[in-house]
Every structure is written in C-alpha cells, then in structure tokens.
Amino acid sequence: MQRLLTGLQPSGMLHIGNYFGALKPFVELSKEYESFLMIADYHALTTLRAPAELRTNIMNVAKDYVAAGIDTSAAVIFKQSDVPEHTELAWIFECLVTVPFLMQAHAYKDKVAKGLEANAGLFNYPMLMAADILLYDTDVVPVGSDQQQHVEYAREAAMKFNNAFGETFKEPKERIMRDVAIVPGTDGKKMSKSYGNTIPLFGTKDEIAKAVMSIVTDSNAESPEHVYAIHALLRDRDSLGELYTANKGKYKALKDALVEDIEALVAPMREKRDAITDDEMRRMLADGAERARMLASAKMNAVRAKIGVTI
Ligand code: ADP
Ligand code: TRP
C-alpha cells in the first residue's frame, strides 16, 4: 500500500464548502492508502499568537475529521508538535537551500507583496512542510492547488539532500484535489470564511436555517439560482427538477427543503461530533504521535548518521 500524508492547519469552524471540497474527498482517498493526517500546529504558529484559540482549534480539527468519517484505527492522526523530528529535519533542510530559493515561495511572497513583514518562521515554512512529508517516505500528498508549490519545494529538498549525502528521501507526488466542485456561498460567490457567506458544517439546525434563509435570491426569477446551486450538491438532478418545478416561485418552500436536506446530511455527523470527548481526542493524538514517531525517529537516526553528527 502506498503512503499518503497531508497536513491541516487548525483554523476556525468548517463550512459545507470545506466539507464537499476537502473533507469528503479526503475521507474517501484515505481509504486507498496508508494514511497520515497531521495537524500542522507549528505552521499555525507563523500566524497565530493566541494559546487558547490554538488549543481550541486543534481540538476542533481533530473532532471534525473523526466526525466526517476518518477511520481512526487505520489512519494515523497526530500533531506536528508531538513529533520533534519535524522541526529537527526542517533545520537540516534550511541549511541546504538558499535564501533566494525560499524567497520565491508564495506564502512569503504574498505577505511581502501586501507590504507586511514576514517572520522567519513564515519564510522557512516550506522547509518544515518538506520535513513533514519526507520523514515518512510519503508517496502522495493530497493538497489544494495553493499548496502545490510547497510539495515541489519538498521534492527539491529531497533531491538536494540525496545529492549531498546519498539516497535517503523519496520524492513525493502531489495530488491536487482539482475535480471537486466549488461550493457557492449564500451570495453566490465561492463559499469562504473570509467572505462571511458560509453555511456552518457542524452548526445547529437553527444556525443552518438562518444561513439558508439569508441566501440571496432574485425576486424576478422563477427559480432561486443560488439556492439551487447549493441544493445540487445534496440531491440528484431528477429529484431536484421535480422539487423546483412543483415549487416554482415559492422561495420559502425551496429554502425550507434545502434546510431539511442539509440537516439530513449534517445531523448524524453533528451527533457523532458532539459525542466525542476532549479526552478521547487526547488519547487518539497520543496514540497517533507514538505511531508517527516510530517512523520519524528511525528516519532521523539515518539522517543524523549521514550528515555526520553521529560519532
Ligand atoms: P476558506 O475559503 O473558507 O478560508 P480554506 O481556504 O481554509 O477555506 O479551505 C480549506 C479547504 O476547503 C481547501 O481544501 C479548499 O479547497 C476547500 N474549500 C474551501 N471553500 C470551498 C468551496 N467554497 N468549495 C469547495 N471547496 C472549498
Ligand atoms: N501548509 C499546509 C496548508 O496550509 C498544511 C501542511 C503542513 C501540509 N504540512 C503539510 C499539507 C504537509 C500537506 C503536507 O494547508
């Protein structure tokens, strides 16, 4: 079985765009590989300086993935900060790449283009991500297209190390989740937490209803297109056609139907999520860290010997 690894930054509440665009396809993909799911808490530290928020976000992202259906007995779910080999290997890669090379990375370039000052962590971000991936002889890295360049950086780091010290790291391949639909938000634009147009994934029925009722509709049209666009994710074309024909012009009825369909999808996941305790997540992450560390520490022993610090 090939090995898959991906990282998730612990940031905020998920919406149904995240579910259809990332969570659901990822849960499916994770069944085909030996899967490692890493919560990238040290990457989050490049932008977040709020301990209580970081703790909450870490707990949330763990629960979200378990509730969405990740098989925790098969997949290894762990926190980056629990496996110190990641930051150790990142340092070694940083000594192999040049400053101009890292200056080309999007995360850094975008920050500077906005006139902001990047911290050194953000600058070195791609080398920590390279370490995340390469420590585990990862074959496949599923990421959004915004992360493609970072996987290229990981391949580059592997090549530089192998050239300098002999064959050690496998060059990973990205798997861009391209064919998933862009889920529109309540205003018809891409659903995104930065646009405030989201429908929460683990919200209560009332919160879902409130978001659905706020979907922008054009009072001249027979069919509310933004309602339909979201509805199309939940029902097949035929049954959707029937529903919208039977309720021509009745926007309230169609929105009510959409609330019910979202609720039918979300309720079982929400119940599962509510039943998960923080202690269960702590145990799961401790177990994940132990399984990850077995591989990471063996790899680091080999690396230390190759670079000449083992005497
Ligand atoms: P946001 O735009 O809300 O900040 P993120 O950028 O954190 O979302 O995205 C997290 C994941 O969810 C990514 O893999 C992204 O491709 C996916 N995603 C986010 N919004 C949507 C959407 N509207 N439709 C489909 N996928 C989405
Ligand atoms: N940088 C990724 C993001 O912001 C998260 C991440 C960290 C990651 N390490 C990784 C993704 C390793 C894939 C593999 O989304």
CATH of residue 92's domain is 3.40.50.620
Angstrom distance (rounded) from CA 151 to CA 126: 8
Ligand 2 touching residue 133 (CB < 6 A):
yes
Angstrom distance (rounded) from CA 38 to CA 80: 6
Contacts by 207-211, CB closer than 8 A, 24 or more apart: 208/259, 208/262, 208/263, 208/266, 209/259, 211/186
Quick one: which ligand is closest to 78's CA? 2
| Same domain? 138 vs 216 | no
| Same domain? 75 vs 116 | yes
Please give the backbone phi and psi of residue 209, each rounded to the nearest 5 degrees, phi first.
Answer: -60, -45
pLDDT of residue 307: 98
Question: 37: part of which helix (H) or strand (E)?
Answer: strand 34-39
pLDDT of residue 11: 80
Assess if residue 186 is contained within a domain.
no
Tally the domains of the chain: 2
Assess if residue 232 is contained within a domain.
yes
Q: Which domain holds residue 63?
A: 3-180+278-307
Quick one: which ligand is closest to 145's CA? 1
Q: Which of 11, 15, 18, 24 to mutate to test the pocket of ligand 1 (most atoms within 8 A of CB)?
A: 18
The pLDDT averaged over each successive group of 10 residues in the chain (311 residues) is 94 88 89 96 94 96 94 95 98 98 93 92 97 98 90 98 98 83 89 92 95 87 86 92 92 96 96 97 98 98 98 96
Q: Minimal CA–CA distance to 129: which of 102, 111, 110, 163?
A: 102
- What lines the ligand 1 site, CB under 6 Å? 17-18, 20-22, 144, 182-183, 190-194
Instruction: Give me the amino acid identity at 146.
Output: D
Residues belonging to the active site: 111, 190, 193
| Same domain? 175 vs 199 | no
72 CA from centroid of ligand 2 (Å): 20
pLDDT of residue 148: 92
296 CA from centroid of ligand 1 (Å): 30
Are the beta carbons of 134 and 156 closer than 8 angstroms?
no
pLDDT of residue 178: 67
Crossing angle (nearest 10°) for helices 106-113 and 120-134: 160
Assess if residue 185 is contained within a domain.
no
Residue 214 maps to which CATH number? 1.10.240.10
Tell whether pTM > 0.85: yes
pLDDT of residue 179: 61
| Same domain? 242 vs 141 | no
Both structure tokens of 173:
């391949």
| Same domain? 33 vs 63 | yes
| Same domain? 250 vs 283 | no
